[in-house]
Amino acid sequence: MMRIALVASSYLPRFGGVEEHVFHLGRRLRARGHEVTVWAVDQGDEAPPRDDGPPLRYLPTPLPTRSLGGVMRFALAAPSALRSWRAAVRQDAPEVIVVQCFGANGPWAAHVAKRAGIPLVYANHGETFMDAHDAFASSQLLRRSLADVLRDARAVTSCSSYAAADLDRFGAHREVAVVGNGIDLDAEASPLAVALPAAYITGVGRLVENKGFDVLIEAYARARDRLGGAELIIAGDGPRRADLESKARELGVDAHVRFVGALPREQVRTLLDGALVHVVPSHVEAFGLVILEGWRSGVPVLATQRGGPGEFMTDGADGLLFDPRDPEGLARLLTRVAEDAPLRARLGSGGRDAVRRFTWDRVADGYEEVFRSAVVAEPPGDAEPRNRLT
């Protein structure tokens, strides 16, 4: 058994794909006998109530900025932060340190791992191109730090081959092991505070530019007269909400488009369980956890063909793939699915079968293999890195 530190860029009580990924992975690894601790970026949150997840430490992650004031603030904060990280290393004594999604957590985890001689693993979640603020385009520090981590890591994983390929632009690295996301097939559902219409289409995710909800609204507006009265429900929140609400008004469908805000996963399941069709319209997706959620609910899933989804979806069997730049094409698909009950049944059944490949036990299997290889791997100075995928 191993002692593992999962170093998360964000964690509970915040909601999101990375937060849930780290929680469920840690819980499953602990169930297998590993000693797992989560080291999460301190964002001022109160620690979540004690549950069956792994023990948690919030750690400070100050980073310098280009301004003189930013450098001075970093100089003042860094000594205390370093003491906190060193204390975590001493008390938890991990045999492997795993950076889960590279952000402010990455440089600090890499520093203490190198100083302590602990093998470092980098688990990529597509953050190099999926970040809502495009941090890697604006921050030279993050780009340089990621290049260092790729060079020094004993192992690198990614949620998809598509996301893994993007790492090549940051420098040489070991072969990338693709370890996808997982889902709790038996997760309970809980009722929503709002009444749901008799028929509706869903979109779930952060309301940011990349998620493509503007395209979904436009496609819905084009197809609405042929959808049998189905409404559109968008679950999520973010900086684009006001713009999306305005777009619905401009297209004359605001009375039929509901924005229900961010929902806990239990309520997302309830929402999807009753959907006519679930749409993932992202401009690009590293993986697409919401696809698994739609599959689990047994509803037809329409997903972007750009990015990771095409690696695990079979078009026409367990979902339909579409070009997220083509609202008219999406409108035709919405109409086709709404009008074809046998197609809906076939896609829903195919999704229920496909989602069984994405249990957390399978995810844990993949990570265990990577962690064991990292512990016994030769340091990077003796093992030549490569820009290739497994």
CA 364, chain centre distance (Å): 16
**Per-residue confidence (pLDDT) for residue 387, from 0 to 100:** 39
Answering whether pTM is above 0.85, one says yes
* Structural domains in the chain plus CATH codes: 3-182+360-376 (3.40.50.2000), 200-357 (3.40.50.2000)
Q: What is the mean pLDDT of the chain?
A: 93
Residue 233: both structure tokens together: 């429900």
Q: What are phi and psi of 303, to 5 degrees?
A: -135, 155
Confidence tier at 124 by pLDDT (50, 70, 90) = very high
Residues 318, 324, 329, 332, CA torsion sign: positive
H or E element that contains 122: strand 120-124
Q: What's the count of helices (H) and strands (E) in the chain, helices before strands?
A: 15, 13
Contacts of 147 (CB under 8 A, 6+ apart): 170, 171
Closest Cα to residue 123, out of 370, 388, 376? 370
Does 7 have pLDDT greater than 60?
yes
Mean of pLDDT values over 211-222:
98
- Determine the 3-state secondary structure of 102 from DSSP: coil
* Region class of 171: left (phi > 0), else alpha (psi between -120 and 50), else beta: left
Amino acid found at 155: A
Which of 42 and 48 is assigned the larger pLDDT? 42
Q: What percent of the chain has pLDDT over 90?
A: 86
Amino acid found at 302: L
**Per-residue confidence (pLDDT) for residue 384, from 0 to 100:** 45
End-to-end CA, the chain? 25
Q: What are phi and psi of 301, to 5 degrees?
A: -115, 125
Confidence tier at 381 by pLDDT (50, 70, 90) = low
Q: Rounded to an integer, what distance in angstroms lies between the CA atom of residue 331 and that of residue 200?
A: 15
Which of 284 and 13 is assigned the larger pLDDT? 284
Digit-coded pLDDT (tens) for 131-180? 877 889 889 999 999 999 999 999 999 999 999 999 999 999 999 999 99
Does 68 have pLDDT greater than 90?
no
Order of strands, edge to edge, in the sheet holding 96-100?
56-59, 35-41, 3-8, 96-100, 120-124, 155-158, 176-178
Residue 216: both structure tokens together: 């979904």
Give whole-number Cα distances, 69 to 66, 76, 383, in Å: 8, 11, 41
Closest Cα to residue 201, out of 358, 336, 329, 325? 336
Q: Rounded to an integer, what distance in angstroms lies between the CA atom of residue 215 and that of residue 223?
A: 12
Digit-coded pLDDT (tens) for 245-269? 999 999 999 999 999 999 988 999 9
Confidence tier at 234 by pLDDT (50, 70, 90) = very high
Residue 71 near residue 63, CB atoms below 8 Å:
no
Per-residue burial over 296-322, b if 16 or more Cβ lie within 10 Å, else e, is bbbbbbbbbebbbbbebbeeeebbbbb
- Determine the 3-state secondary structure of 258 from DSSP: strand
- Max CA pair span of the chain: 64
Digit-coded pLDDT (tens) for 328-377? 999 999 999 999 999 999 999 999 999 999 999 999 999 999 999 999 88
What is the CB-side half-sphere exposure of residue 127 using CA atoms within 13 A? Answer: 24
Confidence tier at 385 by pLDDT (50, 70, 90) = very low
**Per-residue confidence (pLDDT) for residue 51, from 0 to 100:** 66
Confidence tier at 382 by pLDDT (50, 70, 90) = very low
